[in-house]
Chain A
Amino acid sequence: MFQNIGEMVLLLWRTIQSLPLIWRQRAKVFDQLFEIGNASLLMACILSVFIGGVIALQTGVLLVDRGLGSFLGGVVGVAIAQELAPVMMSILIAGRIGSAMAAEIGSMRVYQEIDALRTMNINPVHYLVMPRVVAIALTLPMLVIFAILVGWFGGAMVAAYNKHIAISFQAFFNSLRDTVEFHDVRNGLVKSFIFAIIIGLVCCHQGLVTIGGPRGIGRSVTKAVVNSIVLILIANYFLTRVLINID
């Protein structure tokens, strides 16, 4: 996995270089945006309710037992905005969208469609990679905003309706408003933007280096998803370190 990082940095560079062509490729970017939104919105919603719920449940019981129930909204609010929403949404997108990208580009590679593009002097990075990376980088942060809001709501529901916790909606959101600051949400978005680029690059790269027939495509898809998730979790730690120092 790590021997590919050099190639991925190169792919990132080529993608950045091709950004001026974004207007020309806008139709492809829109196609991708639509596909990503369509494929992930419902799933993101369900996932976020349960993530908010479980974190409220775990911390709620702990805090209420110690008489700190009034902090619950803040704890849940920060945990979701800073960590859970960006990480879980990125993993969702890696599994749902990244896998499809690796499969599509991988099959184009195996069935010589990419060779055909090159003979027509069409750069596969401009034609395939850039629109996909841009689309993920635009949608993932939006999805994360959505997931944060839904996650907070899920947390508040559990806090209110769990008999052991029993913290009202209002108390939960008061605590949340007192604790969560703009930078908590901003950090979540910054993270998700970087995770999006990781997913786009890893999955497109895996697709482009696919060899062998249908089994090769399967191998690429697995590798793309696993490598994306591993890199996201590693990057998450270091990003958190950096972002904590900034605030």
Chain B
Amino acid sequence: MNGPASNHSGVRVQVRGLRKSFGDQPVLRGVSLEVEPGETFVIMGPSGSGKSVLLKHIIGLETPDEGDILIEGESVQSRGFMDKYRMAMVFQSGALLNSLNVAENVGLYLTEHRLKSPEEIRRIVAEKLEIVGLTGSEDKMPSELSGGMKKRVAIARALVVEPQLILYDEPTSELDPLMAVTIAEEIVNLKARIHVTSIVVSHDRDLAFGVADRIAMIADGEIIFVGKPAEVRACTEPGVRKFLAAEFKLNKT
């Protein structure tokens, strides 16, 4: 059960005509986008617009009603797909295993797939925890952590995978500004170090404009704009303007 060959390079992600409804509520209404290998792609949009659902489709946790998701040209729904590529997702809530302590959570991928010896795993876990500023929290249980700490442990757990594609669901939403900057830096570093493809869902304008190669705006299950940060700033589309302006107001209160 070894991971795929450790070619440290990001993967290309294509989403084509993705539709998904829950019951009779359409959540994604024909989403198409393409993310280049090694690109950092940020998806912004109001809450409830289907961002988390889109991420879950990209990593194969949800099955599309229509359309498909291709990674390096292969459907994520195809058999054995997960054995071929290393992917990681940082869930909005962290989604740590509550029965395991921090170190076990962070090292889970390596222990379950028996990729490293216990000493090596301990060293890697300590190294990743240091990156997210949680050195020495190895023995804490998730129930003892704040929301932001859980999120950071979840990020450490994703880093351990040395992923080719990493999905962040609102990585900075529960962090203080300093830690948000640290996480943003780590998103950029990871890209520089292993040339990972990153897809970041966030409301955080600073994060988005700070890390993004390109930004997509999503509203009501549809992509309304895609472009470089400068293009988004210059965009006159009412939906985009409204969202960015609303965020300014929110930031002031």
User: B47-66 CB contact bits vs A (8 Å, 1 = yes)?
Assistant: 00000000010011100000
CB distance from B7 to the nearest CB of A (A): 17
**Among candidates B61, B97, B98, B114, residue contacting A118 with C-beta atoms closer than 8 Å:** B61
Whether A112 and B91, one on each chain, are in contact in the complex, defined by CB atoms closer than 8 angstroms, is yes
Which residue of B82, B87, B109, B112 has the most chain A CB atoms within 10 A of its CB atom? B112
Residue contact B82 to A121, C-beta cutoff 8 Å = yes
User: Are B95's CB and A121's CB within 8 A?
Assistant: no
Point out the residues of chain B lying under 8 angstroms from A127, CB to CB: 112
Q: Which residues of B contact A92 (CB under 8 A)?
A: none
By beta carbon, the residue of chain A nearest B1 is A121
Residue of B nearest to A120 (CB): B109
In the complex, whether A34 has a CB less than 8 A from a CB of chain B is no
Determine whether the beta carbon of B93 is less than 8 Å from that of A112: yes
B108→A113 contact, CB < 8 A: no
Using a Cβ–Cβ cut-off of 8 Å, how many residues does chain A contribute to the interface with B?
16
Residue pair A122, B91 in contact (C-beta under 8 Å):
no
> Nearest-CB distance from B75 to chain A (Å)?
16
Asked if B231 lies at the interface with its beta carbon under 8 angstroms from chain A, I say: no
* A22 interface residue per 8 A CB criterion: no
In the assembled complex, how far is the CB of residue A17 from the closest CB belonging to chain B, in whole angstroms? Answer: 14
Separation of A120 and B87 alpha carbons in the complex (Å): 7
The answer for the CA separation of A108 and B95 in the assembled complex, in Å, is 9
Q: Does B11 contact A (CB under 8 A)?
A: no
- Assuming A119-B61, A120-B161, is B95 touching A113 (CB within 8 A)? yes
User: With a CB–CB cut-off of 8 A, which chain A residues contact B97?
Assistant: 108, 113, 116-117
Q: Is the beta-carbon distance between B112 and A122 smaller than 8 angstroms?
A: yes
Residues of chain B contacted by A113 (CB below 8 angstroms): 95-98
Select the residue from A111, A113, A116, A118 with max chain B CB neighbours within 10 A.
A116
Contact A112 B95 (CB under 8 A): yes
A7 close to chain B: CB less than 8 A: no
B178 to chain A, nearest CB (A): 26
Kindly state whether residue B252 has any CB partner on chain A within 8 Å.
no
Interfacial chain A residues near B154, Cβ < 8 Å: 116
Is A65 in contact with chain B by the CB < 8 A criterion? no
Give the residue name and chain of the A residue nearest to B86 (CB).
A121
Given A108-B97, A122-B108, A122-B112: A116 and B82 within 8 A (CB)? no
**With A120-B88, A120-B161, A121-B83 known to touch, is A115 a contact of B112 (CB < 8 Å)?**
no
| B249 CB-CB contact with A under 8 Å | no
Bound-state CA distance A118–B97 (Å) is 12
The answer to whether B87 touches A119, judged by C-beta atoms less than 8 angstroms apart, is yes
Q: Which chain A positions have C-beta within 8 A of B91?
A: 112, 115-116
Q: Produce 1/0 per residue, B72-85, CB < 8 A to A.
A: 00000000001100
Measured in the bound complex, the distance between the Cα atoms of B98 and A122 in whole Å is: 16
B113 touches A116 (CB 8 A): no
| B240 part of interface (Cβ distance < 8 Å) | no
Q: B-side interface residues toward A, CB under 8 Å?
A: 56, 59-61, 82-83, 87-89, 91, 93, 95-99, 108-109, 112-114, 154, 161
Can you list 10 A-B pairs, Cβ within 8 angstroms, ordered by A?
Answer: A24-B114, A111-B93, A112-B91, A112-B93, A113-B97, A115-B61, A115-B89, A116-B95, A118-B61, A119-B89
3 closest cross-chain pairs (CB), A and B: A112-B95, A116-B95, A121-B82
